[in-house]
């Protein structure tokens, strides 16, 4: 973690910028990340020189052999670095797509669900059996494998049954991702997901997941007015990402499609500190910037501003503001992103790896 912070300090983009919009009060970043010692991997950057026999000093030859073994182990790691970060528990996902809408939107949302599920299972270590899909329309012969394998309609009873099952399955060491896509509406008090049958609002949805036991909990609520879901879902140790602010951002969102696209084909620069690990923060920033780029490409003003809460205070922060280029609304004179302190939004996401990236080919050559 210390290495991450050092690299981040050196390699964070110099094009950091922000929208000309008021910032959330909860964002007070400090950099480099202040990482508690107990968060550091036991072997981070350290070669253990202690003797395996207590009180007996190592002989020179033993040291050499150990060094050689260490180098060989390091070389082997470079060759065989797994694409997916090792986790102790099971990685589980619940993908909920509400009522997709007309034919055009059904095609769009069905494709996004297929892309999401394929990416999770192919690239992020989720087994197919551990990814539960609910879709807001009857599936057909022409649908892809994710929809054909769906549990059924994304109605309220179905979602509640899935969460009840999840509670029985989850172990404290597990990972759980909940991805919600589709349409939503805001009634001046609460935000609702548009589901087949009765809708569900932000309070009820938050209550469904109260007290969930899993070491990694990530919620992507990507509907219109999804920012209102942040507060009821917020919990210590939980990462909640919404496509919009907790404000009247009620237009259809691009975020879910950008999320699927980035998960499936991460941009080359997604690993900002170049440590070979894609963090949840890397993912969030890449998706948020992709959303803004899509608006800019269409010459439209963005009607959604994603936010992330991972310090559990229920207030989402628009961390991406510090990373905007002038083309995306950042200032002409770039400045580095503000540092992220350990209690700030972004800190937990930064230390949540989701995937390791394969080492470049030249590394293998150099190791031969």
The strand pairing partners of 193, in sequence order, are 184, 200
- 103-123 and 255-264 are packed helices; what angle lies between their axes, rounded to 10 degrees? 30
Which CB sits closer to Ca ion, 135 or 229? Answer: 229
Closest CB 175 distance from Ca ion, rounded Å: 21
- To Ca ion, the closest distance from the beta carbon of 292 in angstroms equals 21
Task: At 250, list the tokens.
Answer: 């009620």
Decide whether 112 or 244 has the Cβ nearer to Ca ion: 244
| Residue 313 CB contacts under 8 Å (≥ 6 apart), including other chains | 26, 234
Spatial contact of 324 and 289, defined as CB atoms under 8 Å apart = yes
| Shortest distance in whole angstroms from residue 356 CB to Ca ion | 27
CB of 348 to Ca ion, least distance (A): 10
| 94-116-5 Cα angle (round to 5) | 90
Torsion of CA 120, 123, 127, 131, to 10 degrees: 0
CB of 258 to Ca ion, least distance (A): 22
Task: Report the nearest approach of Ca ion to the CB of residue 28 (Å).
Answer: 11
DSSP structural state of residue 196: S
Given the complex with Ca ion, which of 34 and 313 has the nearer CB atom?
A: 313
Q: Which CB, 194 or 279, lies closer to Ca ion?
A: 279
Neighbouring residues of 156: CB distance < 8 A, sequence distance ≥ 6:
195, 197, 198, 199, 200
Rounded to 5°, the CA angle 110-115-119 comes to: 150
Minimum separation from the CB atom of position 316 to Ca ion (A): 6
Positions touching Ca ion (CB under 5 A) are 26, 309, 311, 313, 315, 345
Question: Would you say 261 or 317 has its CB closer to Ca ion?
Answer: 317
Are 224 and 185 a contacting pair, CB within 8 Å? Answer: yes
The three-state DSSP-derived secondary structure of 37-70 is: HHHCCCCCCCCCCCCCCCCCCCCHHHHHHHHHHH
Continuous segment of H or E residues that includes residue 186 = strand 184-186
Considering the complex, state which of residue 52 and residue 236 has its C-beta at the smaller distance from Ca ion.
236
CA angle 169, 172, 173 (to 5 degrees): 100
- Between 175 and 311, CB nearer to Ca ion: 311
With respect to Ca ion, which residue has the nearer C-beta, 191 or 311?
311
Residue whose Cβ sits closest to Ca ion: 309
**Measuring CA to CA, which residue among 184, 176, 93 is closest to residue 134?**
93
Nearest distance, CB of residue 172 and Ca ion, angstroms:
23
**Residue 288 structure tokens:** 């948020």
């Amino acid at each position: 973690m210390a290495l991450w912070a050092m690299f981040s300090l050196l390699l964070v983009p110099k094009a950091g910028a922000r929208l000309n919009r008021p910032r959330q009060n909860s964002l007070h970043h400090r950099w480099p990340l202040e990482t508690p010692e107990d968060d550091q991997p036991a072997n981070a950057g350290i070669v253990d020189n202690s003797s395996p026999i207590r009180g007996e000093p190592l002989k020179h030859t033993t040291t050499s052999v150990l060094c050689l073994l260490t180098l060989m182990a390091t070389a082997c790691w470079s060759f065989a670095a797994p694409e997916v970060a090792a986790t102790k528990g099971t990685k589980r996902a619940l993908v909920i797509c509400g009522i997709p809408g007309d034919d055009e939107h059904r095609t769009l949302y069905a494709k996004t669900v297929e892309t999401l599920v394929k990416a999770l299972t192919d690239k992020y270590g989720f087994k197919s059996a551990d990814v539960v899909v609910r879709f807001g329309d009857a599936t057909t012969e022409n649908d892809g494998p994710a929809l054909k394998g769906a549990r059924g309609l994304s109605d309220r009873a179905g979602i509640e049954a899935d969460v009840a099952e999840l509670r029985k399955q989850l172990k404290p060491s597990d990972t759980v991702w909940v991805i919600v896509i589709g349409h939503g509406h805001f009634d001046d008090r609460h935000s609702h997901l548009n589901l087949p049958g009765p809708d569900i609002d932000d309070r009820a949805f938050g209550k469904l997941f109260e007290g969930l036991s899993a070491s990694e909990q990530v919620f992507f609520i990507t509907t219109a007015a999804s920012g209102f879901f942040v507060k009821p879902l917020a919990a210590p140790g939980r990462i909640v990402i919404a496509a919009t602010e907790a404000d009247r951002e009620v237009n259809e969102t691009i975020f879910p499609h950008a999320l699927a696209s980035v998960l499936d084909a991460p941009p080359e620069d997604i690993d900002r500190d170049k440590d070979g690990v894609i963090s949840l923060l890397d993912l969030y920033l890449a998706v948020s910037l992709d959303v803004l780029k899509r608006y800019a490409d269409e010459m439209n003003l963005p009607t959604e501003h994603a936010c992330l809460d991972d310090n559990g205070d229920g207030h989402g922060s628009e961390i991406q503001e510090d990373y905007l280029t002038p083309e995306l609304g950042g200032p002409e004179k770039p400045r580095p992103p503000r540092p992220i302190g350990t209690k700030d939004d972004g800190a937990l996401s930064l230390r949540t790896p989701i995937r390791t990236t394969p080492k470049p080919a030249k590394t293998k050559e150099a190791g031969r």
